[in-house]
Amino acid sequence: MALEVTQILLSAQSVDGSVRKHAEESLKQFQEQNLAGFLLSLSGELANDEKPVDSRKLAGLVLKNALDAKEQHRRYELIQRWLSLDVGVKAQIKTFLLQTLTSSVHEARSTASQVIAKVAGIELPQKQWPELIGSLLSNVHQVPVHVKQATLETLGYLCEEVSPDVVEQDHVNKILTAVVQGMNASEASNDVRLAATRALYNALGFAQANFTNDMERDYIMRVVCEATLSQEVKIRQAAFECLVSISSSYYEKLGPYMQDIFNITAKAVKEDEEPVALQAIEFWSSICDEEIDILEEYGGDFNTAVSDIPCFYFIKQALPALVPMLLETLLKQEEDQDQDEGAWNLAMAGGTCLGLVARTVGNDIVPLVMPFIEENITKPDWRQREGATYAFGSILEGPSPNQLVPLVNVALNFMLSALAKDPNNHVKDTTAWTLGRIFEFLHGSTMETPIITSANCQQIITVLLQSMKDAPNVAEKACGALYFLAQGFEDVGPSSPLTPFFQEIVQSLLTVTHREDAGESRLRTAAYETLNEVVRCSTDETVPMVLQLVPVIMMELHKTLEDQKLSSDEREKQNELQGLLCGCLQVIIQKLAASEATKYAFMQYADQIMNLFLRVFACRSATVHEEAMLAIGGLAYATGPDFAKYMPDFYKYLEMGLQNFEEYQVCAVTVGVVSDICRALEEKVLPWCDGIMTQLLKDLSSNQLHRSVKPPIFSCFGDISLAIGENFEKYLMYAMPMLQSAAELSSHTSGADDEMIEYTNLLRNGILEAYSGIFQGFKNSPKTQLLIPYAPHILQFLDLIYMEKDMDEVVMKTAIGVLGDLADTLGSNAGSLIQQSLSSKDFLNECLSSDDHLIKESAEWAKLAIIQDCIQWVGSGQEGMHLLHGSFECSACHQGELVISFFWKVGLGIKANSSSGSHDPGSAMSSSILTSVVVHRR
């Protein structure tokens, strides 16, 4: 079955485009016509030491790509394709792969390692290839060093591909033993030690049981710490990467080792090469992340009943030595660091870590950092001035405003002066960034002591606007500072301190967008983002000026649509600008649509704006389409029912967006716009609903669409139903089974990780919003009866998610609302159904006693709806009467009475009131209503 593919693989790497294309087509044809032979040929090529290195490398790469893909649906297809291959063919391929690990050619071995791991990732969960790990472990004891190195590399990749629960603990122990022995200082080969250290990084997720064993944990930690002192820089770097991973995976086990770890990290930061020093700092950043998460989640209450992982305050204990070490790194800047967007060096890592330390320990950091700032802030060496400014900016989040505001009040004038006059670009860049941090964390309506006053506001704005003419990196940070300055005045009332400067600010920002160098340092993007925030946070006083901005931005967008003869680089920049302009128009539309007076004035531009948006869709850029869609959603809200006139021209783009599986963010935004349009048009959306619902149902059925789009699609069902009411009848038979299937999938999340639980809650909320919209859409309609068959399943879904105890507050609010919607819409038909629910009583009571006022409000409404239901149900005749049981003596008439068992089941609190001589059920029901419920025993 295998064919000679050497020449084709070499031709596929030819510099001659036509030769390369022909070879690529030949490979594709071979794959499509004979997959088994294709894969066998590639694995044979990879294993053959007599073949050229280039053809072997490409053979391995193509083989790997035939087993895995980034897209979830494609990956699933490739897995199924491999599993369906003949067992004998797969066995031959796997033999070739294992054979390649003994090759003398490093590139072939390394590629084979990755392919073996990909196959293992498919087969081990299926209980296939059980002998693999044993074969690899036996290889580790081979004499040739290169075989040992390749095998350890393979074990590392395998641990990366395979879930820990797939591998037996005995095999885990043996893998870890092999890996840690390979790391040992007694290992003569640095290649083996490096492969082993990198393998341990991937294997740490498998070591849960081993880290609970003191002796095994001590051994692993000792070997890792020893590896940080290796003579080989790559081994040291890999060892510190292992420590970083251990700090997040096994934080609670680190206590006994922290002193040693501090010593080796401090040595690395002060003396080692930058890649190693960066990882040493990353260890402390990771510890900060862990402690911040614990402190935020448990609020400092660390008794074992509350938290499985107590906070050990490692950062607080290390503070006196850790902070000076980090401050020292701030003076190790590079001359050109502000020019490179991807720059990351020791000073940046140290400042980032210092910021995390401030968030972890709060006020305790201030007295340790202030002497460094005071000592360096006025020094002639720019590095000292910049380092001091960076230190100040880094500690502004964490300590209390009471600690920081007095320091900021002293420093503000100095910093404004530095931004305007310091001769060094780096100092100005960091000063502008620090001012932005001051405005972000210490400025706003919640602050007791304002740092921006009528006395300094003009100076601040003057300096920021002047700095927006500076070098692109400084101007970009000045825009950022202005962004947070505007944001802090969002809730100040009818008049803002920025109002007198509004026109000047807007004009300065527009000028920045036209700078020839606005493409550098994200400057143009920062200017538009700041303009958006200035508009969003503006007050009624400046609305006329916002209105004047509409034709200006429209003209800018129009210009980008006129120039069509562009190079690919120019086209990319043009697309970016179009996206920014659409985003700006969206914010302006939302602002002007917020009040009737400005909305009316804005409407004169609506037709022209919509025309521009439709022209934008002609360009082929996902980002632009996304921004244009969002802006159209805003326009639909602003124009309301009048948006109907745009639907004939817009609908084809709406459909294209819903079909855009590849750029799923565009699809998700388009789904949101459908909801906006439904709210705007209400019943006028009906002519378009068949097409929209057809496409939404196709989206849900597809395994190609990213899962994140599915919750908003379900929610959109609810919006469509709300808009068209009982006309949704024709879609019920398609939508309801989809909702039921998704509900069942989302009800079983035991053992899921945090990311999956978060997604499950999004999915549940989308499903519940759909049910809520459908119930409300059918309310008071003669077709309400159509929903009755679906009610038991919906109640069962509510029972299941309540009993799983992992729903978040948003889901809880929506779920209790659905219970109320069901009762409210189905009326007397709901009573007996709700009575059969396993958990309605407990769920309702829990929501009624919630601290979240929105949940409580929804629960109160649901309670009222259920009570009214039960009254109708009992009053409806004999069907309900046999369910009445239980008795108590009325304190007013001293006679026994029957009560609806459901009231007690749900705990709605009917009570007797002797003072009035009548039965009073409390706040939910009047005595006159109760007479239809209570049946006296005469």
Q: pLDDT tens-digit profile of 755-780? A: 888 889 999 999 999 999 999 999 98
Which of 64, 12, 16 is closest to 43 using CA atoms?
Answer: 64
Per-residue pLDDT at 260? 96
Per-residue pLDDT at 140? 81
Q: pLDDT tens-digit profile of 643-665? A: 999 999 999 999 999 998 888 89
Distance CA 209, CA 189 (A): 29
Q: Which of 345-354, 374-383, 568-577, 672-681 has the lowest mean pLDDT?
A: 568-577
Selected residue with higher pLDDT from 753 and 37: 37
Distance CA 724, CA 774 (A): 10
- Does a structural domain hold residue 766? yes
Selected residue with higher pLDDT from 840 and 441: 441
- Does a structural domain hold residue 263? yes
Per-residue pLDDT at 893? 30
Confidence of residue 904 (pLDDT cuts 50, 70, 90): very low
3-class DSSP state for residue 913? strand
- Does a structural domain hold residue 783? yes
User: Under a CB-based contact definition with an 8 Å cutoff, are residues 223 and 180 in contact?
Assistant: yes
- Residues of the domain holding 780: 735-874
Measure Cα distances from 622 to 73, 297, 611, 619, 674 in Å: 20, 37, 19, 9, 18
305: pLDDT strictly greater than 60: no
Q: pLDDT tens-digit profile of 598-635? A: 888 899 999 999 999 999 987 777 778 899 999 999 99
Per-residue pLDDT at 144? 87
DSSP bridge partners of 912: 919
Which amino acid is it at 937?
R
Average pLDDT over residues 336-345: 70
Which of 498, 499, 528 is closest to 512 using CA atoms?
Answer: 528
| The pair of three-digit structure tokens given for residue 310, joined into one six-digit string | 């107590």
- Does a structural domain hold residue 636? no
42: pLDDT strictly greater than 50: yes
Measure Cα distances from 31 to 24, 71, 84, 875 in Å: 11, 20, 15, 72
The listed range with the strongest mean pLDDT (26-40, 165-179, 281-295) is 281-295
Average pLDDT, the chain: 87
Give the per-residue SS3 of 212-236.
HCHHHHHHHHHHHHHHCCCCCHHHH
Q: pLDDT tens-digit profile of 698-735? A: 999 988 888 899 999 999 999 999 999 999 999 999 99
Q: How many CA atoms lie within 13 A of 104 on its CB side?
A: 4
| The pair of three-digit structure tokens given for residue 658, joined into one six-digit string | 């819903």
- Does a structural domain hold residue 151? no
510: pLDDT strictly greater than 70: yes
Which of 789, 797, 800 is closest to 818 using CA atoms?
Answer: 797
- Count the Cβ atoms, other than its own, within 10 Å of residue 632: 31
Burial category of 695 from C-beta neighbours within 10 Å (exposed 0-12, middle 13-18, buried 19 and up) = buried
Percent with pLDDT over 90 in the chain: 70
470: pLDDT strictly greater than 90: yes
535: pLDDT strictly greater than 50: yes
| The pair of three-digit structure tokens given for residue 415, joined into one six-digit string | 């910093």
911: pLDDT strictly greater than 60: no
Domain harbouring 787, CATH code: 1.25.10.10
Which of 691, 692, 588 is closest to 637 using CA atoms?
Answer: 588
Got the DSSP string for 721-766? HHHHGGGGHHHHHHHHHHHHHHHHHTT--TT--HHHHHHHHHHHHH
| The pair of three-digit structure tokens given for residue 451, joined into one six-digit string | 């740092």
- Does a structural domain hold residue 235? no
Last residue of a domain, one of 380, 399, 418: 399
Q: pLDDT tens-digit profile of 548-603? A: 999 999 999 999 988 777 788 888 888 899 999 999 999 999 999 988 888 888 99
| Domain count along the chain | 2
Distance CA 835, CA 841 (A): 9
Percent with pLDDT over 70 in the chain: 89
- Does a structural domain hold residue 920? no
748: pLDDT strictly greater than 90: no
Last residue of a domain, one of 379, 399, 419: 399
- Does a structural domain hold residue 568? no
Last residue of a domain, one of 846, 874, 902: 874
